[in-house]
Amino acid sequence: MKPTDKTIEPINICFSSLFFHLNDMHNSQLLVFFTLFSAVKWVVGESGFCSENGYESNVIVTESIYHKVTNPTLSPIHLQDLPGFTRSVYREDHAVITPESHVFSPLPDWSNTMGAYLITPAMGSHFVMYLAKMQVLSRSALPSEDVERFLFVLQGTVTLTNVSGISQELLVDSYAYLPANFEHSVRCETSATLVVFERRYVNLRNLVPEQIVGSTAMQPLLDTPGEIFELRKLLPTSAAYDFNIHIMDFQPGEFLNVKEVHYNQHGLLLLEGQGIYRLGDNWYPVEAGDAIWMAPFVPQWYAALGKNRSRYLLYKDVNRNPL
């Protein structure tokens, strides 16, 4: 995927500008650059995944647009010393999973990758949603038989190689959909964080979904009659696909008009901003990095607050008869 200026991470900029300008630099400039280089290396070197919940609390590693998701506020400053405090909630028809309660462990069959499952069928969902933190020279495993996969890059760069042997680089904000039983691998040389959705594909007639690779910034804005938020869909809306991933943007003060209650399930990751999510009779303050599970028919509503836009990524099952 071609990066937009916004999605290039400063570390990459540092490295590439270093290599670009090496030839026409004076000694003093070289010194400055190598100092910068070591500083960057030091920061990268510090960014292991050894902290208890997989997050670095002090070191700011990158400034990609979804920086807050991989460098979340673990709890409000005035509550950080309070033992046992978490904003996470798990109810029968919804859950809010906040970063201080993420637990990472090695992803089965993947190499050098730590995963945190945020939504699984144990909650009642028909899909899984997890964060995958790929480390140096890491590699994905294939999903189980008949399971389709969607992945979205939150931080870093990965290389996707498919059954045709064609490789594509996926930067922050890029994504890929891999149909069930579609051979592929995702590799990472340094570090990358993905959010991944998987579910058992539901056949319809003889329709066959295809591999999709894209980036959010390249998707057109869609009409949202009666609503004010901006909507992009990352997958085709055609019947071959049994789910879609929506990217929804709200300016501060904007909110959902419809107080939705519907048969579809949702897995949500708040990528930017903050606001209030209503789930059933509960009203949750949420911010970038928070994940939400919404069971069918849970009343749901969002209002964006604060100074910056809210953006979230939303799984929704579509195109299949619920019976």
Chain contacts with ligand NAG (rule: CB under 6 A): 162-164, 166, 168, 211, 213, 307-308
Minimum distance, C-beta of residue 307 to ligand NAG, in the bound complex (Å): 5
Token pair listed for 278: 């209503």
Q: Which residues of 265-285 are buried (b: 16+ CB within 10 A; e: fewer)?
A: bbbbbbbbbbbebbbbeeebe
d(CA 62, CA 40): 10
Minimum distance, C-beta of residue 161 to ligand NAG, in the bound complex (Å): 8
The angle formed by the CA atoms of residues 315, 121 and 71, to the nearest 5 degrees, is: 55
Nearest to 311 by CA among 268, 280, 272: 272
Please give the torsion angle defined by the CA atoms of residues 320, 236, 251 and 68, in that order, rounded to the nearest 10 degrees. Answer: 90
CB of 308 or CB of 319, closer to ligand NAG: 308
CB of 272 or CB of 317, closer to ligand NAG: 272
CB of 129 or CB of 245, closer to ligand NAG: 245
Minimum distance, C-beta of residue 125 to ligand NAG, in the bound complex (Å): 28
Residue 121's φ and ψ, nearest 5 degrees, are -55, -20
Minimum distance, C-beta of residue 121 to ligand NAG, in the bound complex (Å): 28
Q: Is residue 263 exposed (0-12), middle (13-18) or buried (19+ Cβ within 10 Å)? A: exposed
Minimum distance, C-beta of residue 93 to ligand NAG, in the bound complex (Å): 30
For residue 118, give every residue at least 6 positions away whose Cβ sits within 8 Å of its Cβ, in sequence order, or none: 97, 102, 129, 130, 131, 267, 269, 291, 293
CB of 106 or CB of 285, closer to ligand NAG: 285
Minimum distance, C-beta of residue 290 to ligand NAG, in the bound complex (Å): 14
CB of 13 or CB of 222, closer to ligand NAG: 13
CB of 181 or CB of 224, closer to ligand NAG: 181
d(CA 80, CA 260): 34
Minimum distance, C-beta of residue 183 to ligand NAG, in the bound complex (Å): 9
Contact assessment for residue 243 and residue 127, using Cβ atoms and an 8 Å cutoff: yes
CB of 288 or CB of 298, closer to ligand NAG: 288
